[in-house]
Amino acid sequence: MRMKLRQSLALAVTAVATLALVACGGGSTSASPTAASSASAGTSATQAPADKLIVGAIHVGSVKDNGYNQAMHEALEQMKKNLPNVEVIEAENVPESADAERVMENMIQKGAKLILPLSFGYLDPALNVAAKHPDVIFEHPAGFKQAPNLGTFWSDTTSMEYLMGIAAAKSTKSNKLGWIIGFPIPNILTSINAFELGAQSVNPSVTTQVIVDNAWVDPAKEAEAVNALADSGVDVVTMIVDSPATVVETADKRGIMSIGFHCLCVQQSAGNGWLTGIGFTWGDLFTQFAKDVMAGTWKSANNVGTIGKGYATIAPFGPKVTDDTKALIDAKKADIIAGKLNVFTGPIKDNGGKVVIEAGQTGNIPDLLGTTDYLVEGVSGKIK
């Protein structure tokens, strides 16, 4: 009996230690109870102008991931530089669960008047906290619901993928391009389609091969996927997974070219094979949010920027991109911004030969982002 008790104790201690560690790994802000200062008991932020602001930001991963989270973090840094009287509290590795609510509450206690829950899965937790704190403003990325004090923002990079396709098609020698994606969801399929359409616009014989990883984060599998694509003759790869780092590094090892996504910073890992990429650049938008909140002029809205808005930026070109290609990309970019070029101009067939956009019609990108369940002609890969 005594023995049994001791065993259970040993197990229980391990279990508790494990839970504690997991929890710490989760929310890495330290909950300092002294921080509940008078700042939180101030006036309603939506009306009175303030000259100081505390911004609370929560990230789903590490801010040094060379990907999505790092792009968000760099935007916060830029906001701090633009507005010296703004203070930022950040928390990393916060699970998309009730834990997120606890972290947000904690930040509000420390006096945060603008909360940026920076991952898709934080939407419902943020709406819950927003309902309890009408004097605190929230801005959520890619959200599809708003509240009087919760606005949403995103950057639609679809037409930029068209330009990436041009860069890839102009640089490939084998006429085979490759994509590695976490999951085949509509907005990613739309990106791949735009990419292939861009590629075909300069070289109709270029094909794109898609590999589905079934994981947002599995670097070993991402590496093997690059190897498999390189083995099959692909010489330009791009991706939408959490961090582009492994894909661009493995491509470099295999001596093939790569196009980045999420963070401009990944270019450092890419070596000579780097063509270009798309990076989120939210710095000016975050600065505007902070200014509006301080001035009391903030309004709840769904703020989706397209190519001309600057919420996302085309990364600097690598040495393999010729000046002609750069000029062509600039011209096409100008056409898209001016409304002269629609990426999804019919007739467009899917890769089964079915017409998905009729001749003379154009696809509406916001609709496509939510509904696309096909790959266009020229893209191979099963998605179901």
Partner 1 sequence: MSTPFAQGVAAGAIRSGTSILYGALGEVIVERAGMVNLGLEGCMLVGACFGFVATAETGNAYIGLIAAALAGGVFNQLFGFLVVTRRANQLASGLTLMFFSLGLTAIVGKDYVGRKVQGLDTWHMPLLSDIRWVGPVLFRGDLLTFGMVPMALAVWYALYRTRWGLSLRTVGENRTAAFAAGLRPERIQYQALFVGGMLGGLGGAHLSLSYAGVWVEGMTSGRGFIAVALVIFASWQPLRAIAGALLFGGAIAFQLQLQARDTSISPFLLDMLPYLLTLLVLLVWGRNRQYQMPQGLTEVFEGTS
Q: Which is nearer to partner 1, 161 or 235 (CB)?
A: 235
Task: Please report whether residue 3 would count as binding partner 1 according to CB under 8 A.
Answer: yes
**Site size for partner 1 (CB under 8 A):** 66
Residue type, 345: T
Binding residue for partner 1, selected from 52, 132, 145, 173, defined by CB under 8 A:
173
N-to-C CA span, the chain: 55
Residue count of the chain, please give it: 384
Task: Please report whether residue 271 would count as binding partner 1 according to CB under 8 A.
Answer: no
- Burial 136-154, CB ≥16 within 10 A → b, else e: bbbbbbebeebbebbbbbb
Q: Which stretch binds partner 1 (CB under 8 A): 62-70, 154-162, 331-339, 365-373?
A: 62-70
Helices (H) and strands (E) in the chain, counts: 12, 15
CA distances from 342 to 48, 159, 290, 349, 364 (A): 44, 8, 34, 16, 9
Binding residue for partner 1, selected from 29, 40, 46, 70, defined by CB under 8 A:
70
β-pairing, 302-305 vs 150-155, is parallel
Cα 219 from Cα 227, distance rounded (Å): 12
Sequence-separated (6 or more) residues with CB below 8 Å from residue 366: 156, 304
Q: Which is nearer to partner 1, 4 or 340 (CB)?
A: 4
Which SS3 state, helix, strand or coil, does residue 364 take?
coil
Residue carrying the six token digits 């943020």: 126
Task: Please report whether residue 362 would count as binding partner 1 according to CB under 8 A.
Answer: no
Task: Please report whether residue 93 would count as binding partner 1 according to CB under 8 A.
Answer: yes
What is the token pair recorded at 294? 């301080």
Task: Please report whether residue 322 would count as binding partner 1 according to CB under 8 A.
Answer: no
Binding residue for partner 1, selected from 108, 169, 177, 229, defined by CB under 8 A:
229
Q: Which stretch binds partner 1 (CB under 8 A): 11-19, 34-42, 81-89, 113-121?
A: 11-19
Which of positions 340-359 make contact with partner 1 (CB under 8 A)? Answer: none
Binding residue for partner 1, selected from 48, 98, 131, 215, defined by CB under 8 A:
215
Task: Please report whether residue 25 would count as binding partner 1 according to CB under 8 A.
Answer: yes
Q: How far is the CB of 34 from partner 1 (least distance, A)?
A: 24
Task: Please report whether residue 218 would count as binding partner 1 according to CB under 8 A.
Answer: yes
Q: Which stretch binds partner 1 (CB under 8 A): 1-9, 113-121, 144-152, 195-203?
A: 1-9
Cα 261 from Cα 315, distance rounded (Å): 9
Q: How far is the CB of 259 from partner 1 (least distance, A)?
A: 17
Task: Please report whether residue 249 would count as binding partner 1 according to CB under 8 A.
Answer: yes
Cα 254 from Cα 231, distance rounded (Å): 9
Q: Which residue in 255, 260, 253 sits closest to 275, CA to CA?
A: 260
Task: Please report whether residue 225 would count as binding partner 1 according to CB under 8 A.
Answer: yes
Q: What residues line the site for partner 1 (CB under 8 A)?
A: 3, 6-7, 10-11, 14-15, 17-18, 20-25, 28, 61-62, 64-67, 70, 92-93, 173-174, 178, 184, 209-212, 214-215, 217-225, 227-235, 243, 245-246, 249-250, 253, 268-269, 380-384
